[in-house]
Structure 1
Amino acid sequence: MRAFFHERQWAHDPKHFMANGAVLPNPEQPERIARLRTGAEAAGCAFETPADAGIAPIAAIHSSEYLTFLQTIHGRWQRIDGAGEEVIPNIHPANRSDGYPKSAVGQAGYHQADTACPISAGTWEAAYWAAQSAIAAADCLQAGVRAAYALARPPGHHAFADLAGGFCFLNNSAIAAERLLRAGHRPAVLDIDVHHGNGTQGIFYARRDVLTVSLHADPVRFYPFFWGHAQERGTGAGLGANVNLPLPRGTGDDAYLSELSRATERVQAFGASVLVVALGLDAFVGDPFKGLAITTEGFARIGAAIAELGLPTLFVQEGGYLCDALGDNLTSVLTGFQDA
């Protein structure tokens, strides 16, 4: 399986994270790269450095206002007397239609949904090349490759068109899906991260040309809380093109695979010609977020179930945090897919 990663993705090294009022080390550590790369190579992936496709494929998803913010905000932040090393919001608008301030502090609040997406000097560089990795992998599928893997770090599925959140800045899975759509494909995005892909849902929610399906821990008591409920089916032209399958906390392999079959049935009914898998590994029973209880063997079964669709498939890395089995879980899902 061809795979893509750029060394510049190491540049993002976030420090700040807050949970339940406590300031903690950020779980989205650069060390994830080393463990994921080892896991992918164990599954037979041969990594390539992505070419620079430019900003246009990214701007097809994200607003120019937001991209300007991401590229400039850290330098502007450092000019604030007494500012911290990372851009962290402390105020948010009540609505997206509220005023757009000139202040760096105000714009941080507008473009960052939470405190889990701190922006440092290397954030834009890393996010840009994570997106380029996903773009290069999408282009592989367009060229006739049956499967590819993008080690996209930082991840992306919580990023909306103009809003970062949950460790995410550029929505790599959405960028890849749009790239494939514009090349003539009919893409479906299948998100198997433990957290709902709220950014991906938001980007495509009023559209019928991209199907979005997400299996995740029930957000009634789990991040991202406000999105990911079963009644969210799309709006306008997109009504019926968004599918959420929230799962009870602690759901294990068998129950998960049963719901996954519902997801793949919707992909088939949509008539997808290509599949983008937002590949979160944090549904693992030993992941620090402890939302679901998928085993390493269960990930192989998930990979095999996805392969049964028979579609050209792009795996875009999303979550999956530091634990001893992180690399093994990636090996398992990719091997399960290939062996099937």
Structure 2
Amino acid sequence: MKIVYGDGHRGHAGAEELMYNRMVPMFEKPERMDQILRQLGRTGLTEIHVPTVHDLAAVHRVHDRRYVRFLETVYPRWVAETGIEGFATAYVFGMRGMRQTPGDSVQAMLSCYTFDVCVPFVAGTWTAIKEAVDVTLTAQALVAAGAHSAFALCRPPGHHASQDLAGGYCYINNAAVAAQAFRDHGAARVAILDVDYHHGNGTQRIFYERPDVLYVSIHGRPEEEYPFLMGFADETGAGAGEGFNVNLPLPKGIGWGPYGEALALGVARINAYRPDVLLVSLGADAYKDDPVSAFRLESSDFGRIGKAIAGLRMPTLFVMEGGYAVEALGINIANALTGFLEA
């Protein structure tokens, strides 16, 4: 398996997030990548490729241009407008009835283009966002050129980001950008399997009215888990996209039994769709000790996930998403990839 990784994400660090009634250090931090790289090396997955620098054309195929420009400029605008260094975050969020077109105020931009307090901006955030895109598109190009599989080891993650909204640690939807790139380079049908514990509301929103990208997500029930307002089983697509959005929500506390059943359903749906290529939004936060989830998967279960995906026998691009039990994260990701390769 070809692995693409770069160190440009490291400057996206040092911010805090609101967790219930207190501010805590971000769970999404550079050490996550260190653990994954270390464990990949131990398991012999050492073919690391340096990302190629891309322009923003592929990003603009998925995301609003004004939104992308906001991501690129928000931190220096914040410092210039407020005189405050450290990290920038919104304290008002746009709601129904409010205008959704911000003026020149960085506060208005933050209110318009973010939907929660889990997307802070620091001096190195844009560099990390851009390199995550470069990592993903480099891996996408390897698969498009004939590689059986590749892993975009990128950070920050992306599946909560929609066309013009950041949230849940996500700014640019890396998997969605790659899916569109596959379409633009000749793939007639693309499937995305999202195994992150949290529903990929951004990915769903981007492709909800399209039949050319099938989205299948296994995640915590939105009645009781983030992002709360999307991810219900009856959200099946709209218009031409009706039937091409598959949500498989599961209750808190489940282990491999119910999870494996949902995974089998998702795999069967993908197999019936017959895509030219499969993307996997590879989150490992379904793990039993993850601090921001409530599933109970064991580390060995991630190998089962990889094996089930391999059964599809499709060109496959894995894109890194969540997973915040840092000590076990490398093991869980390596298990998923080796399970895939050894099936």
Whether TM exceeds 0.5 here: the answer is yes
One of 148, 155, 161 as aligned partner of 1:159: 161
Aligned to 2:287: 284
Cα shift at 1:14: 4.3
Show structure 1 runs of 5+ residues with no match: none
One of 234, 237, 249 as aligned partner of 2:237: 234
The answer to whether the aligner puts 1:212 opposite 2:240 as a matched pair is no
One of 166, 172, 175 as aligned partner of 1:173: 175
1:61-99 Cα distance to aligned partner (Å, 9 max, x none): 111101110111111100224535212101122149824
Question: What SS is found at the alignment partner of 1:233?
Answer: coil
Instruction: Provide the alpha-carbon RMSD of the alignment.
Output: 1.3
TM-score with structure 1 setting the length: 0.97
Aligned to 2:117: 115
Aligned to 1:9: 9
Kindly provide the amino acid, as one letter, of the partner of residue 243 in structure 1.
Answer: V
8 Å CA contact 2:236–2:242 kept in 1: the answer is yes
Number of aligned positions between the proteins: 340
CA distance in structure 1 between the partners assigned to 2:62 and 2:241 by the alignment: 16
CA distance in structure 1 between the partners assigned to 2:256 and 2:97 by the alignment: 39
Taking a change above 3 Å as real, the CA distance of residues 268 and 171 of structure 1, as seen in their structure-2 partners, is same
8 Å CA contact 2:15–2:122 kept in 1: the answer is no
CA distance in structure 1 between the partners assigned to 2:46 and 2:65 by the alignment: 34
TM-score with structure 2 setting the length: 0.96
Aligned to 2:137: 135
- The 10-residue stretch of structure 1 (92-101 or 10-19) with the greater mean CA deviation from structure 2: 92-101
Aligned to 2:206: 203
Aligned to 1:328: 331
Taking a change above 3 Å as real, the CA distance of residues 192 and 45 of structure 1, as seen in their structure-2 partners, is farther
CA distance in structure 2 between the partners assigned to 1:309 and 1:96 by the alignment: 45
Instruction: Report 1:43-192 matches (<5 A).
Output: 43=43, 44-83=45-84, 85-95=86-96, 98-102=99-103, 103-185=105-187, 186-192=189-195
The answer to whether the aligner puts 1:265 opposite 2:276 as a matched pair is no
Kindly provide the amino acid, as one letter, of the partner of residue 125 in structure 2.
Answer: T
- The 10-residue stretch of structure 1 (88-97 or 227-236) with the greater mean CA deviation from structure 2: 88-97
Show structure 2 runs of 5+ residues with no match: none
Question: What SS is found at the alignment partner of 2:308?
Answer: helix
Question: What SS is found at the alignment partner of 1:137?
Answer: helix
Kindly provide the amino acid, as one letter, of the partner of residue 177 in structure 1.
Answer: A
CA distance in structure 1 between the partners assigned to 2:180 and 2:336 by the alignment: 24
Aligned to 1:222: 225
CA distance in structure 1 between the partners assigned to 2:173 and 2:326 by the alignment: 24
- The 10-residue stretch of structure 1 (251-260 or 304-313) with the greater mean CA deviation from structure 2: 251-260
Moved over 3 A (4+): 81-84
Cα shift at 1:295: 0.7
